[in-house]
Amino acid sequence: MRRETFDEIFTYIGQVPPPQTPEEIEEHEQYLKEAQEDLDRQIQRIQAGIRLDGTRYENGEDGIWFDEEK
């Protein structure tokens, strides 16, 4: 499988024009809010040691270490 470079993908997709109408601006802001919420959830799951399938990481598994509770 061939992996495209960032330049190839960016050239193919091109730049997206900034939102112009109030509806486009609102839609764009909602998209950014949802993307940030999703990123925050992923970070919280990683910090809690929970995989996407709901199982927990064991300490040191996948190179992730957690502070041991004392």
CA 53 to the chain's CA centroid: 16
Domain ranges of the chain: 21-70
pTM: 0.52
Residue identified by tokens 């990481």 is 57
* Per-residue model confidence as pLDDT tens digits over 5-38: 666 666 655 566 777 889 988 998 999 999 999 9
Q: What is the largest CA-CA distance in the chain?
A: 55
Distances (CA, A) of 9 to 31, 43, 58: 21, 27, 37
